[in-house]
Amino acid sequence: MQPTLSQLIEHIKVTKVFRRNKKNVELKILAALLYFFGLSLRKTSDFLSLFEEISHESVRIYYHRLKTVLKQPRKKKRKLIAIDETKTKLENKQIFVWAAIDVDTKECLAIWASESRGSFEAYVFLKDVLKYCESKPEVVVDRGFWYNCLQRLGLNYRHETWLRNAVEGFFSRFKERVKRFWNRFPFRSSFDSVQSWLESFMAFYNYWRC
């Protein structure tokens, strides 16, 4: 069961994830949620500043920092996982975003950005996904040759479109969100900041969806 908003607020207060408490924790959570659901940093700042002044940089910090206290995937037995990747841009350069979804719970287990797409990248990502699996689950993938590495990991896999709906649904939400900044991560973004943004997106998605 996901915590209620009041439980989340109390949990965040206890963790002291925000060293400075000049602004209400409720405001910080609301700012991060508004940004997750589609408002830009500046629009979130402008809207909330009607009640209490808040900068767009503060909104960005809240979004990235709250992922450390939201519920993370736990290691357990998982039967079926859907994995896929999609393209986006970092400035003018194409990058790839990988995601793994538990088909039964719809929970996102891992998300990762890479500069290229091949068997090595798929292997690295899958090794990370297996950290959240007590047993070796069956994996549903598309027909990309890079997923041949599943055999090296001793995993059974198959190609079934309808079972991949779980990960396609996740990417639908992801693409809807990145459209807000023109299908590319902002200029002067580092690869580390992109990965941090993705991990925050995953954390808020799991909190909202699961």
Percent of the chain predicted with pLDDT > 90 = 67
pLDDT digits (tens, 9 = 90+) for 117-145: 999 999 999 999 999 999 899 999 998 99
pTM of the model: 0.89
Nearest to 39 by CA among 1, 148, 49: 49
Q: Is 75 exposed, middle or buried (0-12, 13-18, 19+ CB in 10 A)?
A: exposed
Q: Which residue has better confidence, 163 or 168? A: 168
d(Cα 37, Cα 176) in Å, to the nearest integer?
A: 9
C-alpha distance from residue 63 to each of 3, 78, 83, 188, 205 (Å): 18, 29, 25, 18, 12
Q: What is the mean pLDDT of the chain?
A: 89
Residue 51 φ/ψ, nearest 5 degrees: -110, -40
- What pLDDT, on the 0 to 100 scale, is given for residue 160? 77
